[in-house]
Structure 1
Amino acid sequence: LGPETVGVLNCSDPCITFLLLYITCVSAPVGGFFLESCHLSHNAAICSDRHLKLVPKDIPPTVISFDLSKNQISRIQAGTFTNLLVLKDLNLHQNQILKIDNGSFSNLISLQKLTLNNNRLVKLGQGTFDGLSNLLELRLNTNNIAAVSSTAFQSLIRLKLLDISQNHLGTMKNLYMMLQHMPQLQQFTVRRNKLKHFYSWEFTNHSLDLQVLDLSNNPIRDFRITNNIFPNLTCLSIGDPFSVIKMEWDVKNKTFLRQVSSIDISGLHTTLQVMEELLETVNTSLTSLAANGIKHNRTKLINLACSIPTLSQFQFRRGNLRIITSDFLKPCVHVTELDLSENHIKTINENAFKSMEKLTVLRLSQNKLSVVPSAIQTLQNLSELDLSNNLIGTVNCHDFSNQTKLKELNLKNNSITLKDCVFKDLVRLQVLRLQSNQITDLKGAFKSSLSNLKRLHLNGNKLKAIRNGEFNGLKSLLNLSLHQNQIETLDKYSFVGLIKLTDIQLQSNALKKITFNLLANLRRLDLSDNRIQYPENATLTELPFSNLSCLEELSINAQHHRGKSTLPSNFLQGLKNLLRFSARNCQLIYLDKDTFTYTPKLERLDISSNDLQTLSPEHFAPIRNLKSLYISRIALQSLDFLRDAKLTKLKFLQGRHNQYSVITEDVIKSLPSLMYLDLKYISFYCACDNAWFINWTRNSKQTLVNGAYNYSCNYPDNFKGKKLLDLDLKPCLYDVNFISFVSTSCIVCFVMVGSFAYHLMRLQLYCAYYLLLSWLFDSKYKNNQAPHQYDAFISYNYHDEPWVMGELLPKLEGEQGWRLCLHHRDFQPGRSILDNITDAIYGSRKTICVISRRYLESEWCSTEIQAASYRLFDQKKDVLILVFLEDIPTYMLSPFHRMRKLLKRQTYLSWPRAAGQPGVFWEKLRKALQTGNDPSEENVLLTLTGT
């Protein structure tokens, strides 16, 4: 859409100019975004056919075009288009709009084109188009508009085109209320309404600048002009093929329509006299006349029309003509373009065009001609001839004789059989259309003639082979269309002589082997939908494109063959200027990393719908200029290859229907120029792994993520079917990896420090540990402590019970009179063992531990000595007496015993050492029981020796 069709804003308005520049600069894209119901393309928001009932609110303010066609919008509310200050084109075609609120478009200050066709509008109320002072085109056709407010169009001061066709306007008053506010209107189309008359005094009260007025398909009975209201009118259409009432024509002054050069009276129902008056009104200016669908008084109409000396273009379609006699067109000596299409012409007299020496364009398409009419041989100035869609079966050598000036010949949709001499006289022919003729053999028709032909269309025929030299005579050919044939074979020199060919279309054939090295100037080659296959990944010995250094576009899509295929590593060798390459749906299973080494300028690559599964950065190393990449449906497991591919210029990426489920930050950041991303139909993993991608999609402003709102979760199962962008990211705000790292590091450091401390200070640590435990235990019992019931609690292993009962008990209780606490005698039945032990220790002044090897292995004995040690550490009282029944090395002692040795080395008694003097042993034990609990008191005790 350019200024030639919609115009430009008035540059003298500095406010608008500044506003456009401001919005363009401030809203410059900087990252990615998505639209809920639309997609963007080149500053155009496309929301067509989306079943929308409301206008989307998420459209970027920088869009220039907004397409909302084919939806279900029923009302345009005020404020709907608030932020679209630079919008130029708004398309609301084919909705269900019944009402437009006042001021709904008031913020669209830059709008130049508004389309409201095919809706349900009944009335245009006050202020409907307020604010649209820059609107140039307004289309309202195919609604139900029957009434127009006097102020509906008051803002459209710059409007140049208004189309309000196919509505229910029945009075001139409605037209008057429109036109009075549009001083610059140039084209006014009111086709197919209910106007029954046209009176100039009701239409306007002043001269208009109208250049095109279309009143066709209205049941107009009277057409009367009494004032010169159309001084600049050049095109007028009037006539209704469905009207049964003959129209009256009354133009008071012939000069009123003196500028009309083109008039369309197709279907006009009137008398021959009125027709004569009408044509006489434009007798001095008319150059183009369309009189289609007129089936009465045809000869007289032709005579009237062709008597106008200025008439040069005459269209007479759907006139039910069957024969063109020698006199039918005899008056048309000045006509240069004649269109007799869509009739039933079977026969044309050989002298039918004899008088039309100036004729340059003749259209006879969609008739019933069975041969090329010999009458055209009299038209020596003919430059364009259209014989398409007829019944022509054979073309003879003399059919186009004398047509030395013919430049375009259309013979498509016939059943032509060629001959080598058919086109020999068409020395200036530039365009030849022979498509859909069931041609099976070219018969040498292009071997030596048509040296100036530039475009040849042979598509849609039944050619099976192109033999050597078939196009040898086409030295100037630029475009060759051979698609939709049955070509299986291309001979080595099939295209010899086509030295200027730039474009060849060979899609939809049956080619298996290709070579195009003779086409040095070729720019575009389409080989899609053939049977080209390379089962093995071997380098080619015969290169198909080695001499095509000018080729810019190559397509080999959709090759039909059995089994999988590869692309040889040197397949593209020679294509150093290739810009676009497409190999979609070729059943490729492998792509060599050197495939694109020969195409350093490649900008667009499509390898979708193959079985590649993996891609590597090496594939893209030679093509750093790539701008568009299509990798949909290739079973790709990951996009990680993009991280190191260095595609810094890539703007478009489509990767639909693949196996990856997570899009990482480094992948996106490796594509700094990306503007469009399409990942539809991906089974996304809805977890924190995709948190960055979700945030980027929601908040960034550079890249359009197409269809992002509909991206769905597939994993885990409890999120299946939910929308990706609805995922709650709050749990992802904390960096789990970082937290795990810190916590693990702390644990490791703690273990290391603890290990070193244990190794260097284990005894001191044991002391500290048991001091703490003793405090905890003692704090539980010291407040409840009763007076001592016993002088000593005897802690021993049951294996040592004979010594306790036979030696210790008689001495201490029998001879010395101490009150002793023993397990089997003094523990209360029914209480837990641990409670009995604790009560016994705290209920005795001293605790005597009878130490033996079995004692040290006993769990309950260990518990007893621990409890005694807690009291020793916490109360700082010498309450523990250790009696060793056997010599035990220090390394076998438990930590409790070593700590006791550390605190009070003098309190160890040894029974084996007292074997020679047991009396001394019992005396020492008596004194130990007799001493107080102060550790500082002197005790003369036997000491434990040995290490």
Structure 2
Amino acid sequence: MKCLAVLVVLLASAHQAASFFNFLSLRQITHDGQSAKFPCKIVNATFVDCRNRGLLNIPSGIPKTTQILLVSHNRISKIDTSLTGLVNLRLLNLSHNSVSKLERGYFADQKQLEHLYLSKNQINKIPEDAFASFTKLKTLDLSWQNNNLRRGFPEFLIPINRTLTTLLLEKTMIKTADFGTHLILRSLKVLNLAANGITSLGRNDFQALAGSQLQVLDLSYNSIENVDTDTLDPFHGVGTLDLTHSFAKLPPLPSLLANVSAAVSSAEIHKLDLRSLSLKNLTSSMFIGLGDSTLEELDLSLNDITGLDDDSFGPNLAHLKVLQLYNNSITTISLNALAGLTALESLYMGSNSLKEIEPGTFKHNTQLLTLNLNDNLIASLSQGGPFQGLINLQRLYLSKNKISQTLTGDEFQDLGDLTDLDLSGSKLLKDRHIRLKMDSFKTLSKLTKLNLKKVWLSNIDIVPSPFAGLLELRFLDLSNNNMDNFHQDTFSSLGRLETLYLDHNHFDNLWHPPNPQEESPSMFLRKLVSLRKLDLSFNGFQNVPIGAFHDLGHLKTLHLSNNKLSEISGKALDGLKELEYLDLHKNLINVVNKTMLTPILKTLKILYICGNPFSCGCEQEWFRDFIDDTQVTIGNLSLCLCASPPGMRNKPLMSFHPEDLNCDHKLPLKDWIGIGVASFSFLLLACILVVYRWKVYYIYLVVRANYRRSKRHNGYEKVFDYDAFISYSGADEEWVAEKLIPELETGEEPFRLCHHGRDFEPGKEIVDNIIESVDSSRRTICVLSQSYLESNWCSFERRVTMSRLFINYQDALILVLLEDLPPKKLSKYDHIHRAIKKKTYLKWPANADERAVFWQRLKDVLNEDRTPDRYEVIV
């Protein structure tokens, strides 16, 4: 019973769990259904994203708590009352729509709005009170109106003029920069008037901004013909004045640029952009008014300047700190061209056509910290010192030139403070490359970053190493040089090096020498105790020797991709105590085993290993299980494919399941489930057999009895040998032997009774004796008592007798009660209880005077259907 109770509890728990998950599923379906009705993404309670939804109107149902609403890139043409109730909005982006009309009522509830973006719509008129509801607006973007915003400017700014900090009016076809005198835009920081039709900058145009200090004033891409020298006077200062491509005539007249200089000088401008003005020659007269200015940065990029001569800048830019001359056509710099730029700290001359740098070119620029000469045509650096005088220079960029020479170290004289040197990516001619000597960097003791990528370096096999004196070096790039050898002590002095790129070379022989018996692998990474990142990809390495990374205890990133590694010994990775990132993709690795990765598993976070010809067999079982269980991120895992066996070729590694192969004779999961179900079923059956063992045994006996009885009676006649079989409990033996048997077996017509103690055949099984005795008796007398009810054999005898009722339609049972059996007790014995309720039974009287009647009634029952010769035939 206990086993059944446990089973019931388990079934109930499973039913409750299923109901719970069904409930969750319904909740999810309901939630998704509701979400599907609302066309936007509710990022959180304050942020709703409706971009790129094809909306014709601002959707209803936006939460009232929304503070950021993005509805750009739709087809919305009307606002009307769609924003009603959204009182918490702080940012509204309606850019890239088809809105053509604005009214005050549209934004009646948006008193808290701070940023409004309306660019790229079709607004052509804005009423004066359109923004009257705003009390905190800081950003207003009305740029790029397809219908050209011309009317109503600047009256619509009046309600917001005191709070506005950013005003974007690019390409709105405003013809003037005159904001009038009735506006107060002193809080404005960014003003964009680019790409309009502005033709002049007058004295009073910016009176509305009097006292303001702009960060950016963008007047680029206009058609300016006249500039008043006082036009910028209202400003206390402007961070950047952008006049890129802003003049009607290009290049502008020197007199016009002189007026610009004068205006800049009076306004405390810090940066002036004069890009894309088609300037060919620079003259000091262009900057004559800047002598007393605060200008610190001048951008002359994207012009057509061909050279810098002695009169290019003059003495009026002595305070200039940054000069940008990118993307011009400068071929020469005279020795005194930069003489007036004594405060210059950064000079950018990339993407020009300089072929050489004469010694003394920068001798006047002793404050220079950054010199960028990238992407020119410089073929060599003079040993006479092209950078003489640059005693404070920290960054020198010479990438993408044509430098081809042996560096002796004299090229970098006076550069004792240089920390960053970039010679990478040279535009080399055939058979021309950079060669290093032991003194190549002898003057650069403070260098922390050296880039020699793609300069076709020769093998570095000299001792001492060219890098021996670079004790402060943190970054070294020697990649893409096609080198195949260097001395194992080349880097041994770089104890502070943190990043080393050696990829795209041919260093395979360093770790796999052609004659292993004569040469041992080169431990060229020794003593790099501070290294954090190492790239050895694209080198053709076939193996990683033990000890190669012995000193790299602080390495965090290791690239070994695109080599020919078929395996890596775990001992080879022993020294990598802090490795977090390992890239092994595109090698020849067939199997990833536990031994290989164990040394780095405690620290590893990211592993790239796809692109290898994986064997998807039992030998890959550990790695396949590792993928499922690990916290390590496996990069591009979906691209990992099997190469073997043939049946798995080009199939995803994730489709490989070792348990299906029964590796190591481990049972598949489905077999374990089957065993579990079978074990549970067996346990349940055992419990049932223990608890109901007699009932089970009884069923077996009844089935067996019926089978034998049907077999015995099939096809022949049977004669009753006894008038009655006596079924009784051993406790009632005395009554049966002394009263029942003598009474029935004596007299004028004695009955023949079957008594087990006397008539059972010795040596035969008791079950067979019972069955044959019952079948050989015309009736069965059941002597009922409490002891009888508790006897299993008595129950069996009674049931065998009752089964004749179903087999031969004979009611052969005679019930004799020796004692009172209350119905409450009989109810436990269902068959007897029902038999007593249906049949007439005889009760043994306690009064001796009544016993004669009892015996007569019992004999009358036994005489029923009794043939004269006392035999009865059953077919």
Equivalent residue for 1:314, pick from 273, 281, 298? 298
Query: Is residue 555 of structure 2 the alignment partner of residue 575 of structure 1?
Result: no
Residue correspondence of structure 1 range 765-844 to structure 2 within 5 A: none
Partners of 1:511 and 1:485 lie apart in 2 by 11
Q: 1:795 to 1:229 in 2, by over 3 A?
A: closer
Unmatched runs of 5 consecutive residues or more in structure 2:
1-23, 30-35, 512-522, 643-650, 660-669, 722-760, 780-858
Partners of 2:494 and 2:197 lie apart in 1 by 57
CA RMSD of aligned residues (A): 5.4
Q: Which residue type is aligned with residue 420 of structure 1?
A: T
Partners of 1:250 and 1:400 lie apart in 2 by 41
Partners of 1:743 and 1:332 lie apart in 2 by 100
Q: Which residue type is aligned with residue 196 of structure 2?
A: N
Partners of 2:414 and 2:345 lie apart in 1 by 17
Partners of 1:740 and 1:131 lie apart in 2 by 71
Q: Which residue type is aligned with residue 327 of structure 2?
A: E
Q: Are the counterparts in 1 of residues 354 and 376 from structure 2 also a CA contact under 8 Å?
A: yes
- Residue 391 of structure 1 deviates from its aligned partner by 1.3
Query: Is residue 774 of structure 2 the alignment partner of residue 902 of structure 1?
Result: yes
3-state SS, counterpart of residue 901 of structure 1: helix
Instruction: Give the structure 2 partner of residue 544 of structure 1.
Output: 548
Q: Are the counterparts in 2 of residues 479 and 501 from structure 1 also a CA contact under 8 Å?
A: yes
Equivalent residue for 1:391, pick from 368, 373, 377? 377
- Residue 631 of structure 1 deviates from its aligned partner by 7.5
- Residue 591 of structure 1 deviates from its aligned partner by 3.2
Which one has more relative contact order, counting CA pairs under 8 Å at least 6 apart? 1
Q: Which moved more, 1:379-388 or 1:257-266?
A: 257-266
- Residue 209 of structure 1 deviates from its aligned partner by 0.8
Partners of 2:285 and 2:218 lie apart in 1 by 16
- Residue 569 of structure 1 deviates from its aligned partner by 0.6
Q: Which residue type is aligned with residue 426 of structure 1?
A: L
Instruction: Give the structure 1 partner of residue 436 of structure 2.
Output: 443
Instruction: Give the structure 2 partner of residue 555 of structure 1.
Output: 558
Q: Which residue type is aligned with residue 78 of structure 1?
A: P
3-state SS, counterpart of residue 256 of structure 1: coil
User: Deviations 1:819-839 (Å, cap 9, x if unpaired)?
Assistant: xxxxxxxxxxxxxxxxxxxxx
Unmatched runs of 5 consecutive residues or more in structure 1:
1-30, 37-51, 638-654, 664-687, 690-734, 774-793, 798-846, 852-888, 908-931
- Residue 99 of structure 1 deviates from its aligned partner by 6.1
Partners of 1:98 and 1:527 lie apart in 2 by 58
Query: Is residue 282 of structure 2 the alignment partner of residue 294 of structure 1?
Result: no
Residue correspondence of structure 1 range 398-409 to structure 2 within 5 A: 398-409=385-396
Q: 1:254 to 1:899 in 2, by over 3 A?
A: closer
Partners of 2:506 and 2:57 lie apart in 1 by 54
Query: Is residue 370 of structure 2 the alignment partner of residue 367 of structure 1?
Result: no
Q: 1:206 to 1:460 in 2, by over 3 A?
A: same
The normalised TM-score by structure 2 is 0.63
User: Deviations 1:158-193 (Å, cap 9, x if unpaired)?
Assistant: 454444433344326255425633633323332333
Q: 1:103 to 1:519 in 2, by over 3 A?
A: farther
Q: 1:516 to 1:371 in 2, by over 3 A?
A: same
Q: Which residue type is aligned with residue 311 of structure 1?
A: L
3-state SS, counterpart of residue 210 of structure 1: coil
- Residue 279 of structure 1 deviates from its aligned partner by 3.9
Equivalent residue for 2:448, pick from 451, 454, 458? 454
Q: 1:891 to 1:76 in 2, by over 3 A?
A: farther
Q: Which residue type is aligned with residue 283 of structure 1?
A: S
Q: 1:567 to 1:765 in 2, by over 3 A?
A: same
Q: 1:305 to 1:612 in 2, by over 3 A?
A: farther
Partners of 1:557 and 1:118 lie apart in 2 by 47
Partners of 1:125 and 1:300 lie apart in 2 by 52
Q: Are the counterparts in 2 of residues 154 and 182 from structure 1 also a CA contact under 8 Å?
A: no
Q: Which residue type is aligned with residue 580 of structure 1?
A: Y
User: Deviations 1:747-794 (Å, cap 9, x if unpaired)?
Assistant: 6666788886575686666779999x9xxxxxxxxxxxxxxxxxxxx9
Q: 1:94 to 1:545 in 2, by over 3 A?
A: farther
- Residue 78 of structure 1 deviates from its aligned partner by 3.3
Partners of 2:460 and 2:116 lie apart in 1 by 52
Query: Is residue 335 of structure 2 the alignment partner of residue 350 of structure 1?
Result: yes
Q: Which residue type is aligned with residue 385 of structure 1?
A: L
Query: Is residue 187 of structure 2 the alignment partner of residue 209 of structure 1?
Result: yes
Q: Which residue type is aligned with residue 452 of structure 2?
A: L
- Residue 210 of structure 1 deviates from its aligned partner by 0.9
Q: 1:550 to 1:750 in 2, by over 3 A?
A: closer
Q: Are the counterparts in 1 of residues 57 and 75 from structure 2 also a CA contact under 8 Å?
A: no
- Residue 405 of structure 1 deviates from its aligned partner by 1.5
Partners of 1:111 and 1:661 lie apart in 2 by 54
Q: Which residue type is aligned with residue 416 of structure 1?
A: I
3-state SS, counterpart of residue 591 of structure 2: strand
- Residue 586 of structure 1 deviates from its aligned partner by 3.7
Instruction: Give the structure 1 partner of residue 366 of structure 2.
Output: 380
Q: 1:581 to 1:145 in 2, by over 3 A?
A: farther
3-state SS, counterpart of residue 180 of structure 2: helix
3-state SS, counterpart of residue 265 of structure 2: coil
User: Deviations 1:558-591 (Å, cap 9, x if unpaired)?
Assistant: 3233xx6222112322222333334344443333
- Residue 596 of structure 1 deviates from its aligned partner by 4.6
Instruction: Give the structure 2 partner of residue 668 of structure 1.
Output: none
Partners of 1:101 and 1:465 lie apart in 2 by 74
Partners of 2:560 and 2:485 lie apart in 1 by 19
Query: Is residue 247 of structure 2 the alignment partner of residue 269 of structure 1?
Result: yes
Partners of 2:623 and 2:101 lie apart in 1 by 62
- Residue 475 of structure 1 deviates from its aligned partner by 2.0
- Number of aligned positions between the proteins: 670
Q: Are the counterparts in 1 of residues 397 and 423 from structure 2 also a CA contact under 8 Å?
A: yes
Instruction: Give the structure 2 partner of residue 304 of structure 1.
Output: 288
Q: Are the counterparts in 2 of residues 324 and 347 from structure 1 also a CA contact under 8 Å?
A: yes
Equivalent residue for 2:420, pick from 402, 408, 431? 431
Equivalent residue for 2:212, pick from 219, 227, 232? 232
- Residue 740 of structure 1 deviates from its aligned partner by 8.6
Q: Are the counterparts in 2 of residues 596 and 619 from structure 1 also a CA contact under 8 Å?
A: no
3-state SS, counterpart of residue 468 of structure 2: coil
Query: Is residue 171 of structure 2 the alignment partner of residue 192 of structure 1?
Result: yes
Instruction: Give the structure 1 partner of residue 797 of structure 2.
Output: none
Partners of 2:458 and 2:775 lie apart in 1 by 111
Residue correspondence of structure 1 range 37-52 to structure 2 within 5 A: none
Q: Are the counterparts in 2 of residues 340 and 364 from structure 1 also a CA contact under 8 Å?
A: yes
Q: Which residue type is aligned with residue 263 of structure 1?
A: L
Instruction: Give the structure 2 partner of residue 494 of structure 1.
Output: 490
Q: Are the counterparts in 1 of residues 40 and 50 from structure 2 also a CA contact under 8 Å?
A: no
Partners of 1:557 and 1:74 lie apart in 2 by 50
Q: Are the counterparts in 1 of residues 448 and 475 from structure 2 also a CA contact under 8 Å?
A: yes
3-state SS, counterpart of residue 198 of structure 1: coil
Q: 1:355 to 1:517 in 2, by over 3 A?
A: same
Q: 1:942 to 1:503 in 2, by over 3 A?
A: same
Q: Are the counterparts in 1 of residues 358 and 382 from structure 2 also a CA contact under 8 Å?
A: no
Q: Which moved more, 1:425-434 or 1:572-581?
A: 572-581
Equivalent residue for 2:59, pick from 53, 65, 78? 78
Q: Are the counterparts in 2 of residues 593 and 618 from structure 1 also a CA contact under 8 Å?
A: no
- Residue 437 of structure 1 deviates from its aligned partner by 0.6
Q: Are the counterparts in 1 of residues 561 and 583 from structure 2 also a CA contact under 8 Å?
A: no
Instruction: Give the structure 1 partner of residue 728 of structure 2.
Output: none
Q: Which moved more, 1:353-362 or 1:458-467?
A: 458-467
Q: 1:99 to 1:363 in 2, by over 3 A?
A: farther
User: Deviations 1:617-648 (Å, cap 9, x if unpaired)?
Assistant: 99989x99x574548148699xxxxxxxxxxx
Q: Are the counterparts in 2 of residues 795 and 848 from structure 1 also a CA contact under 8 Å?
A: no
Instruction: Give the structure 2 partner of residue 166 of structure 1.
Output: 144
Residue correspondence of structure 1 range 678-693 to structure 2 within 5 A: none
Q: Are the counterparts in 1 of residues 421 and 449 from structure 2 also a CA contact under 8 Å?
A: yes
Q: Are the counterparts in 2 of residues 493 and 518 from structure 1 also a CA contact under 8 Å?
A: no
Q: 1:933 to 1:589 in 2, by over 3 A?
A: farther
- Residue 273 of structure 1 deviates from its aligned partner by 5.8
Partners of 1:569 and 1:291 lie apart in 2 by 61
Q: Which residue type is aligned with residue 567 of structure 1?
A: I
